[in-house]
Amino acid sequence: MRILGIETTCDETGAAVVEDGARILSNIVLDQIPLHERFGGVVPEIASRAHVQVVTRIIERALARAGIDPASEPPVDAVAVANRPGLVGSLLVGLAAAKSLALAWDVPLVAVDHVHAHIYASCLERPGQGESGSDDAGSAGSVFPALSLVISGGHTSLYRSEGWTRHVLLGNTLDDAVGEAFDKAAAILGLGYPGGPAISRAASGGNRRAVKLPRTLLDSDSLDFSFSGIKTAVLYHVKGQDGRRASPNREDVEIADVAASFESAVADVLIEKIRRGLSRERLDRVIVGGGVAANRHLRERLDELRSAEGIDVRIPPFELCTDNGAMIAGLGFRLLEEGSTSDLSLEVQPLTT
Ligand code: KG4
Ligand code: ZN
């Protein structure tokens, strides 16, 4: 069964065709970095306009790359769309496209939660990967129950997952999302946007212990997160307590050291929360997804958790950590299997439910 997945929740326009919830036949993603970088963050109105301009072409390319003739009847078996959570204008563009195609092709429309789809990304097969990646997708029993952590620009959420469509929230950020903290720290360091990849590049060769930054763990049993303290600590370190120091430069602040220390502090917090979650829920498996899961240092730390403590860590390949249509199509397949389809009255839900 082939499903077209459409992703427009924030600033990436994504369309993909995925077969049987696992095999990626195509996955086209167009980011809008050049449009937003001079503002240092995503401007919602610009994002939705940009989606309108390209969404049709991105879908056409996804079908073409998958070797599907759009005139065939029907080209795909269903259309899945991320209708929540996200920027309202951006969500509306993807939903309008999905509804139009589902109506024109007379195929089911499936509404997908973007955050849950980040968890699903861990079980997708990469093109050319063959059968190996399909184990996880095919046998839900071997994956669940598991702890799931979504770390992105908009979310830092920890769940107990009983299935790809069944996630119970255990903890959430009380202020900034972790990706947002990366973006803000990068802006303070003058490293540009998006901040995650910029910090990661700047951190190479830096001393991870050079700068003392806080690890906010909250109460000893808390599974919630807080990243505003670390962002403020970076600001004070770079600009001085009174905020008067000029922009960072090599004499005042060693940027590589700050970036490396920042990555290290964030990873410490995430690993500790994973440990707490696993222990409290008596689990030995964790699924990690979202843009920040592309961070190399964090991936190394997760590898250590796997090798030193025997935890089963599932994490998507780099290109499936950030927003994409394949994760939407994949989870859409699971929802379709469960009979979860929507009619044309489907609406967007900008806020997390
Ligand atoms: O999942 P995503 O593409 O969009 C949301 O759902 O928010 O995540 C985007 C976030 C941004 O904050 C970006 O800075 C961060 O993921 N990010 C990274 C890396 N690549 C992207 N953070 C740390 N290291 C990276 N390599
Ligand atoms: Zn995302």
Q: For residue range 130-166, what is the model confidence (pLDDT) as tens digits?
A: 544 444 444 445 899 999 999 999 999 999 999 999 9
Q: Measured in angstroms, how far is the CA atom of residue 339 from the centroid of ligand 1?
A: 32
Contact 93, 101 (CB under 8 A): no
The residue count of the chain comes to 353
pLDDT of residue 134: 40
Contact 133, 120 (CB under 8 A): no
pLDDT of residue 249: 55
Contact 220, 276 (CB under 8 A): no
Classified as helix, coil or strand, 327 is helix
Q: Measured in angstroms, how far is the CA atom of residue 351 from the centroid of ligand 2?
A: 13
Q: Is the dihedral of CA 24, 13, 337, 17 positive or negative?
A: negative
Q: Mutate which of 10, 113, 152 to test ligand 1's pocket (most atoms within 8 Å of Cβ)?
A: 152
Half-sphere exposure of 266 (CA within 13 A, CB side): 35
Q: Measured in angstroms, how far is the CA atom of residue 194 from the centroid of ligand 1?
A: 8
Q: Measured in angstroms, how far is the CA atom of residue 323 from the centroid of ligand 2?
A: 5
| Residue ID of nearest Cα to ligand 1 atom 10 | 153
Measured between alpha carbons, how far is 115 from 34 in angstroms, rounded to an integer? 25
pLDDT of residue 243: 64
Q: Which atom of ligand 1 is nearest to the CA of 183?
A: 14
Please state, for a pLDDT cut of 90, what percent of the chain lies above it: 86
| Structure tokens that stand for 193 in this block | 């946007």
DSSP 126: P
Measured between alpha carbons, how far is 347 from 329 in angstroms, rounded to an integer? 18
pLDDT of residue 132: 42
What's phi and psi for 339, nearest 5 deg? Answer: 80, 15
Q: Which of 182, 138, 150, 114 is nearest to 293 (CA)?
A: 150
Predicted confidence pLDDT, tens digits, the chain (353 residues): 999 999 999 999 999 999 999 999 999 999 999 999 888 889 999 999 999 999 999 999 999 999 999 999 899 999 999 999 999 999 999 999 999 999 999 999 999 999 999 999 999 987 666 544 444 444 445 899 999 999 999 999 999 999 999 999 999 999 999 999 999 999 999 998 899 999 999 999 899 999 999 999 998 899 999 999 999 999 999 988 666 666 555 454 699 999 999 999 999 999 999 999 999 999 999 999 999 999 999 999 999 999 999 999 999 999 999 999 999 999 999 999 999 999 999 999 999 87
Q: Measured in angstroms, how far is the CA atom of residue 84 from the centroid of ligand 1?
A: 18
Q: Mutate which of 155, 292, 295 to test ligand 1's pocket (most atoms within 8 Å of Cβ)?
A: 292
b/e sequence 220-257, b meaning 16+ C-beta within 10 Å: eeebbbbbebbbebbbebbbeeeeeeeebeeeebbbbb
Q: Measured in angstroms, how far is the CA atom of residue 265 from the centroid of ligand 2?
A: 22
pLDDT digits (tens, 9 = 90+) for 240-250: 866 666 655 54
Closest listed ligand to the CA of 291: 1
| Residue ID of nearest Cα to ligand 1 atom 3 | 322
pLDDT of residue 61: 98
What Rg do the C-alpha atoms of the chain give, in angstroms? 20
pLDDT of residue 246: 60
Q: Measured in angstroms, how far is the CA atom of residue 291 from the centroid of ligand 1?
A: 3
| Residue ID of nearest Cα to ligand 1 atom 26 | 295
Q: Left (φ > 0), alpha (ψ -120 to 50) or beta: where does 74 sit?
A: beta
Query: Omega before 75 cis (within 30°)?
Result: no
Q: Mutate which of 37, 182, 327 to test ligand 1's pocket (most atoms within 8 Å of Cβ)?
A: 182
What's this model's pTM, rounded to 2 decimal places?
0.94
Residues whose beta carbon lies within 6 Å of some atom of ligand 1? 10, 152-154, 179, 182-183, 194-197, 200, 290-292, 294-295, 322-323
Q: Which of 264, 239, 288 is nearest to 182 (CA)?
A: 264
| Residue ID of nearest Cα to ligand 1 atom 16 | 291
Average pLDDT over the chain, rounded to an integer: 93
Q: Which atom of ligand 1 is nearest to the CA of 155?
A: 7
b/e sequence 297-322, b meaning 16+ C-beta within 10 Å: bbbebbeebeeeeebebbbbeeebbb
Q: Measured in angstroms, how far is the CA atom of residue 118 from the centroid of ligand 2?
A: 7
Contact 98, 108 (CB under 8 A): no
pLDDT of residue 126: 74
pLDDT of residue 202: 95
